Amino acid sequence: MNEEIKIPENIMGTMGENKLLLKISVPLIFSMLVQALYNVVDSFFVAMISENALSAVSLAFPVQNLMIGVGVGTGIGMNALLSKRLGQKNQPAVNSAAMNGIFLSLINMLIFMVFGFFFARAYFETQTDVAEIVNEGTAYLKICTIISFGIFFDITFSRLLQSTGLTKFSMIGQIIGAVTNIILDPIMIFGLLGFPKLGVAGAAWATVIGQILGMCADLIFNLHWNKEIQLGLKGFRPSRKVIGQIYSVGFPAILNTSLFSVFAYGMNRILIGFTTAATAVMGVYFKLQSFIFMPVFGLTSGMIPIIAYNFGARKPDRIRKTVRLGLIYAMCIMLIGVFLFQAFPRQILSLFLEKPETFEIGVTALKTISIGFLFSAFVFVGMAVFQALGHGLHALLIQTVRQLAGTLPLAYLFSLSGNLDMVWWALPAAEIMTAATALLLYRSINKKQLLAMEESCDVLMENNKQ
């Protein structure tokens, strides 16, 4: 029989909810903003090459997003399980969750390496026959997928830090990777300081080098400062049970991101039927929206370990307070996004677009799509709650409504009008549908789990008094 090892109470269960959420989320929000910045910087420098170069990077985005989604989804499952075990004060289970998460990162890396070697060109040829876009996009995507160990292990090591509240170290790792990429982008794209001029491929090399350095930093932080998790290969064997527990939450999260990649791929196919300029605009929008969405993702990433820990510790009141605070902060961030995209679309797009026809397409797109941002706050907070409480299928459902059952069918129907401006309205319409779905699912969980937990805790307290 395995003896349960007791570990001290974590700040997740003791610190005031607002202070705790800010302590964990603010560094994550900052690091996500830095991440968004270097995504935008990539597009900024690539746009200087040509519009086709920008289109090539835009068409590669669904695969890059899928890579991030697989890594983050695995990390979310590991994080939720690990935080729950911390709440239960079970140290061997904490270590097992961490090591199995690292093992899964290795498997994910190998899968995308195979894709990069054998299928990168075929992927681009399904979307366009423009030789320049296919050639530059293939070179870019091969580098990002074949040398993908940096991104997968960086995400995993960063999540380990987040699960124990060491988000300042996670932030530092993110900054190291992002700053490296930002510095190397112009050097490797345009051949500065004695480097060869690599063009679009230079942006890919800058990205993977930044990811590798960020990974190294996060590994060092875990080994030297993360005392609540002991990493080591001695005696480790992959556990089907633990992997199943990780992916009971993580796999639906991966499917969520897969849906987004399908959505991005489908939108590119619809838009390219109008003009290649529309795909360039969509690519720029995806990068620009990250300035708004990434901080919310940082916020919700901070919510997940807090909710998961207090679920394991049976503290429903702390869960509800965290959800309310998270929604308030998410709404504030989204309001900023609506204001910026409505008030300054021309100033923002002037950083990336020059052709008058492309520019006008972009202005209409930003103003239309940003209408749905406020509803997105309900969606993202709801998904974080579902993931933290082990309801990954709920998160999958609302993402399915948001992208496959909502945006893509609407975009296709609106495209039949022959009016490109109509296609953009599919995005805010889908956000409204998804927010309503998320609200209904949360009310069900609150009634079935949190209220039931609260009642059982009250009964236990009464019995202890007697």
- pLDDT for position 4: 46
- How many other CB atoms are there within 10 angstroms of residue 465's CB atom? 6
Candidate from 139-143, 215-219, 391-395 with smallest mean pLDDT: 391-395
- How many other CB atoms are there within 10 angstroms of residue 238's CB atom? 12
| Cα(75)–Cα(94) distance, integer angstroms | 14
Complete DSSP assignment for 241-280: HHHHHHHHHHHHHHHHHHHHHHHHHHHHHHHHTT-HHHHH
Nearest Cα to Cα of residue 22 among 227, 157, 214, 168: 168
- pLDDT for position 366: 93
With the CA atoms of 408, 285, 109 and 161 taken in that order, what torsion angle do they form, in degrees rounded to the nearest 10?
A: -110
Mean pLDDT of 442-456: 72
- pLDDT for position 39: 67
Amino acid present at 426:
A
pLDDT in tens, 246-284: 888 788 768 767 777 888 888 888 998 888 888 888 888
Candidate from 7-11, 18-22, 324-328, 427-431 with smallest mean pLDDT: 7-11
Share of the chain above pLDDT 90, in %: 29
- pLDDT for position 154: 92
| Cα(192)–Cα(45) distance, integer angstroms | 13
Please check the confidence at residue 186 and state whether its pLDDT lies above 80. Answer: yes
- pLDDT for position 69: 83
pLDDT in tens, 319-347: 888 888 999 999 999 999 999 999 999 88
| Cα(265)–Cα(63) distance, integer angstroms | 9
| Cα(182)–Cα(176) distance, integer angstroms | 10
Model-level pTM greater than 0.95?
Answer: no
pLDDT in tens, 81-113: 887 777 777 777 788 888 898 999 999 999 999
CB burial of 106-124 (b: ≥16 within 10 Å; e: otherwise) equals eebbeebbebbeeebeebb
pLDDT in tens, 14-29: 677 788 888 888 877 8
DSSP state of 441: H
